[in-house]
Every structure is written in structure tokens, then in C-alpha cells.
Structure 1
Amino acid sequence: MKTVLFVLLDQFADWESAFLAPALRGGIMPGRHAVRYATPGGVPVRSIGGMTLTPDCDTETLPDDCAGLILVGGMSWATPEAERIVPLVREALSHGILVGAICNAASFLAAHGFLNGVRHTGNGLEMLREWGGANYTGEKLYQERQAVRDGNVVTANGSGYLEFTRECLLALEADTPEQIAASYAFNKHGFYQE
């Protein structure tokens, strides 16, 4: 069993990991991935919706069995606390571990130059330029899509949580592509398409 580490900062977006974490823990292919939640300093954080979460660990190191690092978006990715995540992202990328970033977490990756060599998306090209400044030179690789997977990097905008889930599950080989597609379709459309 491999661990997927979800990084949460204070004011994290409740919905952005709401489909991915359960799918990894047992909704699609149980027993292949363990989910752990991490925060800087290992302190409890509060979501945008007011839910308080006590993490499993801090963000000092990746687990030895880490298969994925998921940066859950929210309102604190431009704070000093977020800067503590840079070494973790660098370590994950250097070891070929999946790095997923959604919403403002994708902007955080742009601000630190992590998106300059991969196809990616986020909350709009203008926001990536604003956050990234001189560190962001990947404009030509930006795609106007809900989620984009390029190698071991998955990015999404804040409304692309289902597409983000699908792309992360595919990258982690959490199940067959057909089963992942069926799960995506069900969550996207429900029992009835309107």
C-alpha cells in the first residue's frame, strides 16, 4: 500500500479533495492507497466551510512509501505558511512522485517555477502570471481546461475538482481507466443527466 499525502493549509477548500480522498481510501480500488493529511507544523486547520481538521502529520518530510502529494487549494497559498511546502514539492518532483495542485495551489506552483516545463491549467492564465511574476515562464504550456495531467504533475482550477480527481486517479493507476471513467461520469452526472 502506498501513501497519498494531502497538504492542507488554514482556510482550505472543503470540496477540492472531497472526491479524490474517498476514492483512494476505498471507493474505487480499496487497499492500494492510504490517505494521510498533513499541515505545516502538524497543527489543526479550518476549512473555508468551517470544518476543523486535525492532521495525521506535519509537512516536514514525505512518507517513505509516498505515491502522491496533493496540494488542496484554499485561501492561504500566498502566505508564509505555504512557503514551508516548497521543499516538499521539490522533493516529490525529484523522486518522480505525483504532485497534484488545484485552485490557488496551482498558482502557488506557478509562483515557484514548478509549472514552467509542464502543460498545466489553473484559475486562469492571468492569475498564474500575477502569482508567478518573473518565476512563471510557462505561459505557452497553459491550457484552458478544467484539469491537465502532464507526466507526474496534475493541475486544476477550483471548479475542476471532479476532473482533478479523475486525472490523479489515472496518474496513480488507482483502477482501470474504464472504472475511473465510469466513476467520473457518475459523479459528474448522477443518476440522471439534465
Structure 2
Amino acid sequence: MKKEVLVFISEGYADWEGAYICSELNKPETEFAVKTLAISNIPVKSMGGFSVVPDYSIDELPPHFEMLILIGGTSWAKGENNRIQVVIDICLNKNIPVAAICDACTFLADKGYLNNIEHTGNSVTYLEKFAPHYKGTQHFVEKQVVSADGFITANGTAAVEFAKEVLSYLHVMEPDVLEEWYQLFKVGFYQK
């Protein structure tokens, strides 16, 4: 049986931010399967207009999963995703990694999850402005993606870097193959 990776999607989610990760994790030769998670079972529409019926709602989590991935989008700033905190707390209690990109990082910052660990996001100024309860500026790292203490964080321009870090964390590819993959999607070619 394949190991499930949960991808949290919400109304207006940024569909491209998880596309690189999901397409690699869902390949038949991997040991992983991507499953979508949402607040409820109601179909969710992405920024690009894709309607997705979630595999799980927050009230019906699977007993075990390998990682929780939080995709950015327009609903984070509206406070519509607060119930995901229950799942994040489950992850922390069970040592399940949490990966977040763009405004999902802003949410983590506002809720205090990033106050004491190295992290990134759209920018430290952005987090200070849009995450009023954020107290982790001294741990902010000016990088596309940061992995620390069970959290992977990425800014909104780092979909490929985010994917590379998640794929590395889950050991989906050998390091040299992953680097070739990254070069292919980042610059359009790679040299052997």
C-alpha cells in the first residue's frame, strides 16, 4: 500500500504551487500517493479554475500519512482555513512533517508555528504586515525554501524549489537525479 501525502487545498488555492510535487509523488514507481484534504467535502476551485472534490475533509483524516502540504492561495488571508490548525497540531504530535508555501507560510507565522525555527515566506516585511501575531523575525531566512525542525517553508515564487525540497525530504529520487530534475524545470535543460 502506498504512503499517503496530504495536500491541503482551499477555495482559490494556487494550483501551480503543488503541481511539481504532486506529479512526481503520484508516479506509479514511487511509494507515495497524493490525497487532497480540505475543510469539508465540498468541491474546491483553484485560482486557475480547476474544481477538485477533496479525498478527505478535516473531520475524516486517515489514521496515518507521511506529510502535510499546505498550498497557498486567496483564502488564507480571509481566515477561512483556521480549522487546519487541528491537523497541523496532529502532525506536530506525531512528528509528521509540514510543508507550506506562500500564504500558507503567512498562516503558520501568524499562528506561532514559525516563531522559534528557521523559516522563510514571501518576505519578512510581508509576514510582519499580514501575520499580526508573528514573532519569529529573528529566525527568518532570506531564501526560496528552508527546511528546519519538521517544517518546510517556501516563498510564493519558489514552486520548483519547494518541490525539490519536499522530494528530497521524502527521498523520492536519488540526489543526482533530483538535481537533474531541478535543472530541467528551473532552467529548461540539464547537462549530464
Q: TM-score, normalised by structure 2?
A: 0.93
1:38 match: secondary structure: strand
Match of 1:149 in 2: 147
Match of 1:188 in 2: 186
Q: TM-score, normalised by structure 1?
A: 0.92
Report if aligned partners of 2:38, 2:58 keep a CA contact under 8 Å in 1: yes
Change (3 A) 1:151 1:182: farther
The separation in 2 between residues aligned to 1:65 and 1:31, in whole angstroms, is 18
Further displaced range: 103-112 or 31-40: 31-40
Which structure 2 segments of 5+ residues have no match? none
1:97 and 2:96 correspond: yes
Match of 2:156 in 1: 158
Report if aligned partners of 2:120, 2:145 keep a CA contact under 8 Å in 1: yes
- Runs of 4+ deviating beyond 3 Å: none
**What are the superposed Cα offsets for residues 105-128 of structure 1, whole Å, 9 maximum, x if unpaired?**
000000100111221111111121
Q: CA deviation at 1:34?
A: 0.9
Q: CA deviation at 1:170?
A: 1.3
**What are the superposed Cα offsets for residues 147-171 of structure 1, whole Å, 9 maximum, x if unpaired?**
1111311111111000000111111
Percent identity of the aligned residues?
Answer: 37
Further displaced range: 97-106 or 45-54: 45-54
Which structure 1 segments of 5+ residues have no match? none
Match of 1:5 in 2: 6
RMSD (Å) for aligned C-alpha atoms: 1.7
Counterpart amino acid of residue 106 in structure 2: S
Q: CA deviation at 1:181?
A: 1.5
